[in-house]
Structure 1
C-alpha cells in the first residue's frame, strides 16, 4: 500500500504540472463508437487514458449499439442484425443526447472498425458536418474488407469496397478527389500490415487464397491525416496506447503526458448485463452477439485470492438487475481481484475474472454466454479473452494455463480468445499477456458453468 500511495502522489503531482491537461470546459465531448459485434466496454482503457490526461469523465461517452452485428447483405432484412441506416440513426441519436446533456456545440467521434462506417455516414448524410469537430477512425475498412466480387460474399455488404454503401461514401467530394466531408477534421489509424481485415488474401473472410482487392492501406482516406502504426492489430488501431496517443494529439495539438491509466484513490464500478440472440447462420448455436439487457439476471462479486483464484468469503456485492440490465455502483478495493458471477435463465453461469481496476468505470459490461452443443460433455470450459486486441504469438509474450502459445493463437493477430477444457477438480487457471496476469478458476461444465479470464489491456 505504501508504494501505491507514493505512486498516486507522484501521479497527482505529474498531472498538476501537466501543461497538456485541458481545462474542463475547453474540451469537446468525445463519443466513442464500437465496432461489429462489440460493446461499449471495449473503450474502458481508452477512457481511462483520456481521464488521466485531464479530460473530464462527464465528457467521455461510449455508445452501445443494441444490435452491433452488420447484416450479411445490407439491403436485406436480417433478424438480430443492423443495417447501415439503423446504425447511423442510432449514432445520430446518441450524439444529440450528449450535446443536449453537455451543452457543447460540437463533439469528437472516435470509432473502431465498423463504427467508422456509421461515423462517415452520419457526417456525410445525417447532419454530422455541423455537429462534429474531429472524426477518428481506427481500423475502419474504408475501402472494404474485399473490393471485388467473390463467390459467397454479397456485393451489397457494407464491407464490400465495390458495393453501393462504400462507393457512395468514397465518392470524391472536391476537385482534389478528397473522400472526406468538410469542415470536419479527419484522421485514420491503421496497421502497417497486421490488420486482419485489410489483407490482400481472403483468409480472414473464409476465402484463403482468393484475392480481396484490398491492401493494408485500404483504411486510409484521401483528405484525412492517415497514421500508420507498425504491428498493431485490427482492434489495437482504436484501443491501444499508441492509438490513444495519436488521437489525443490530433484533438489537442499536444502529445499526452501519459498513455497509462493513472490510479484513483476511490474506484466506483457500474455496468450492464447483456445477453445473446440466435445466430441467423447457425440457429443451434444461440450465441449471436447483441447488447440487449437481460432483466432478472443476478450478479454477485467476490474478492478472490490472487494466487489461487478462490473466493475469500461471501459476496461483497449482489444485484438482481432490472429491465435496463444495469448494476452498481460498487466501490471497489483498488488492489483487489474480483470474480464476477452472473446467472440468468437460459444461460450458463458466467464467472469473469479480471485484473484490479485502477480507475472508476461505468461500462464494466458483462455479456452472458451459452455452452455450445459440441462442448456439453467437456469437464470444464475456461476462456482467455482479449477484448481490446488479438493474440499474436510472434509479436506478444503470452501463456494460458502454462501453454505457450495459448491454444488457437495464430501468427498474424487474427484471434482474440483461447479456450481450454481442464480436467479434474476445480483449480486455479492463470493467463499471462505482455506483463498482465489474470487468475481464475475452472468450474464444472456439466453444471452449466463457464469461466472467462478477461484481459484489460
Structure 2
C-alpha cells in the first residue's frame, strides 16, 4: 500500500497501513513530553555499506516525536563505510570488520558518557548489523541492551566457494564465526530483533541475477536475515533499505526497545528548525565519511511549485578542516535548495522537501562527476531516494512527467534516476514525484559543471 508523505510527515489524518499479515494504525496525537521517552535506553543508529548517518534522520525525528530526548539519540558515521573485497586484505578507502567493530565501540562509549547510561540500544541497517553482531559477540555485550538488525545479510548475500574472504559470503570466516554451526546465533544478555522483507530485499534473493550471475543460486533466501534465538519479523513488501528507514520499521524498532507501542508514527514539526551536517567526498569514486574542507555550502528558500529561489541565501559559508556546515535556521514549511561547491566535483544543486525538525546529520556529498553520456546535455537532472529504492510497479515514480527508463521493474534496486535535457530547457522547472512527495527543481547548465538533484525525504 502506498504511503502518503503528507500523512506520514504532518500527521494530518489517521494513517492506516497494511503490510504483509501485520496491521497497525498510527493516530496523530498530542506530542508526548520528553519524560515519556526518558525510560528508554539511549539509541545509537548504525548505517550500512557506503552510507552515512543522515539516512537515520527521519527515524530520529520519529523517536523525538515520541518523547525520546534528542541527547539520547545518536547516529554513527563510519570513516570508510565500504567493505573490503577481502576482509583480510587492506584496501584504500575501505574498511574491515575489525575497523567497524572498533569504531562502533568508540561511538557506544561516547553515547554512554554523554548520557550516563550503563547500556545502549543499537539499531542497524544492512552491513551495520554485521558490526553490531561482531561487537556484541566479541566482548561488548555488556554495553548493549537491545540490538535491532534491519535487512542485515546475517547469512550472507551469497554462500559460495568463490570470494571466501568477503564479509558477505555466508561460508566465509567472518559470518561462520558469528553464526556457528548450531544453537542460538545471538549473544545471551542482549535482546535481538531482526526485520526483513517479504521477498523483495535485493540482498536476500535465491537467484544471483542482481549479482551479475543470472541462473546461479546464491545459497540464501529471503529468510537470510533471520537469526536463531532472535525475535524475527517479516514486515511486508519493503525493500532492503526500507527495513530500517520505513515508517513501518519504526513501529517495530520503537516497540521492541521501549516495550510499548509508539504514540505516533508521523513526525511532529518543530516551530524553530536548525539544520547542519558534514560535507564528505567520494575520492576515486568510493564514498567516505571523511570531512571535506573549504567546501562552499549555500542554502536558499525556494518556491514549492517552481523551485525558484526566494530572496538571498539563508546561509553561505565554507567548511573548515572538520567539514562541518551550519547551523542555519529554516521554517518547517519551506522547501530548500542546498548548493555544494567542492574541489574536484560538480557543483551540486540539491533540492529538498521541508525539514520538519532540527537535525545535525544533514550530511552532504557532491553528485557524481559528469561523464561521456552528459557531454551533449544542456542540463543533467536526477532524483534520489536515499532511504529506499524506487519500486516499479509498486511506487509512483515520475521525473519531468514521465516514468523513468533507468529504473528496473521487479525487485527494487535503483535509488537514482537521471534525465538529460537540451540547452533550450536550462533554467526551467522540473518536477520529481515519488508517491506523494513532490519536489520541483531548476535545470542548471551542465556546461558550468553543475548538476541538479531532487532528494526525497521518504
* Same fold, TM-score > 0.5, yes or no: yes
Q: Judge conservation of contact 2:339–2:349 (CA < 8 Å) in 1.
A: yes
Matched residue, 1:15: 31
Matched residue, 2:3: none
Residue 49 of structure 2 corresponds to residue 36 of structure 1:
yes
Q: Judge conservation of contact 1:350–1:450 (CA < 8 Å) in 2.
A: yes
Matched residue, 1:414: 413
> Out of 90, 97, 113, which is 2:103 matched to?
90
Q: Judge conservation of contact 1:400–1:406 (CA < 8 Å) in 2.
A: no
For residues 388-399 of structure 1, what are the structure 2 equivalents within 5 Å? Answer: 388-399=387-398
Q: Judge conservation of contact 2:314–2:328 (CA < 8 Å) in 1.
A: no
Q: Judge conservation of contact 1:381–1:450 (CA < 8 Å) in 2.
A: yes
Residue 155 of structure 2 corresponds to residue 143 of structure 1:
yes
For residues 167-206 of structure 1, what are the structure 2 equivalents within 5 Å? Answer: 167-171=176-180, 177-206=183-212
SS of 1:26's equivalent? coil
Partners of 2:368 and 2:28 lie apart in 1 by 44
Q: Are residues 7 and 259 of structure 1, via their aligned partners in 2, closer, same or farther at CA, if it must alter by over 3 Å?
A: closer
Deviations 1:418-447 (A, max 9, x none): 111111222111111121111111111121
SS of 2:391's equivalent? coil
Residue 69 of structure 2 corresponds to residue 56 of structure 1:
yes
Give 5+ residue unaligned stretches, structure 1. Answer: 279-286
Partners of 1:26 and 1:116 lie apart in 2 by 24
Q: Are residues 260 and 5 of structure 1, via their aligned partners in 2, closer, same or farther at CA, if it must alter by over 3 Å?
A: closer
Q: CA deviation at 1:42?
A: 0.2
SS of 1:419's equivalent? strand
For residues 296-315 of structure 1, what are the structure 2 equivalents within 5 Å? Answer: 296-315=294-313
Q: Judge conservation of contact 2:44–2:121 (CA < 8 Å) in 1.
A: yes
Q: Judge conservation of contact 2:40–2:257 (CA < 8 Å) in 1.
A: no
Q: Judge conservation of contact 2:198–2:236 (CA < 8 Å) in 1.
A: yes
Count of residue correspondences: 434
Partners of 2:200 and 2:10 lie apart in 1 by 39
Matched residue, 1:67: 80
Q: Judge conservation of contact 2:10–2:268 (CA < 8 Å) in 1.
A: no
Q: Judge conservation of contact 2:130–2:154 (CA < 8 Å) in 1.
A: yes
Deviations 1:211-260 (A, max 9, x none): 10000000000000001011000000000011110011111121111111
Partners of 2:224 and 2:10 lie apart in 1 by 46
Partners of 1:51 and 1:160 lie apart in 2 by 37
Deviations 1:326-366 (A, max 9, x none): 11111101211111011112111010001011111111111
Q: Judge conservation of contact 2:11–2:267 (CA < 8 Å) in 1.
A: no
Partners of 2:115 and 2:100 lie apart in 1 by 23
Q: Are residues 118 and 426 of structure 1, via their aligned partners in 2, closer, same or farther at CA, if it must alter by over 3 Å?
A: same
Q: Are residues 147 and 22 of structure 1, via their aligned partners in 2, closer, same or farther at CA, if it must alter by over 3 Å?
A: farther
Q: Judge conservation of contact 1:393–1:405 (CA < 8 Å) in 2.
A: no
> Out of 371, 374, 382, which is 1:373 matched to?
371
Matched residue, 1:165: 174
Cα RMSD (Å) of the superposition?
1.9
Q: Judge conservation of contact 1:266–1:331 (CA < 8 Å) in 2.
A: yes
Matched residue, 1:27: 40
> Out of 327, 342, 354, which is 1:329 matched to?
327
Q: Are residues 22 and 255 of structure 1, via their aligned partners in 2, closer, same or farther at CA, if it must alter by over 3 Å?
A: farther
Q: Judge conservation of contact 2:192–2:230 (CA < 8 Å) in 1.
A: yes
Q: Judge conservation of contact 2:301–2:336 (CA < 8 Å) in 1.
A: yes
Of residues 407-416 and 336-345 in structure 1, the stretch that sits farther from structure 2 once superposed is: 407-416
Matched residue, 1:455: 456
TM-score, length of structure 2 as denominator length: 0.91
> Out of 340, 343, 362, which is 1:342 matched to?
340
Q: Are residues 155 and 372 of structure 1, via their aligned partners in 2, closer, same or farther at CA, if it must alter by over 3 Å?
A: farther
Of residues 251-260 and 232-241 in structure 1, the stretch that sits farther from structure 2 once superposed is: 251-260
SS of 2:294's equivalent? coil
Q: Are residues 315 and 230 of structure 1, via their aligned partners in 2, closer, same or farther at CA, if it must alter by over 3 Å?
A: same
SS of 2:222's equivalent? coil
Matched residue, 2:273: 267
> Out of 81, 105, 120, which is 1:107 matched to?
120
Q: CA deviation at 1:379?
A: 2.2
Partners of 2:28 and 2:428 lie apart in 1 by 40
Give 5+ residue unaligned stretches, structure 2. Answer: 1-8, 14-26
Of residues 352-361 and 365-374 in structure 1, the stretch that sits farther from structure 2 once superposed is: 365-374
Q: CA deviation at 1:317?
A: 0.9
Q: Judge conservation of contact 1:398–1:406 (CA < 8 Å) in 2.
A: no
TM-score, length of structure 1 as denominator length: 0.91
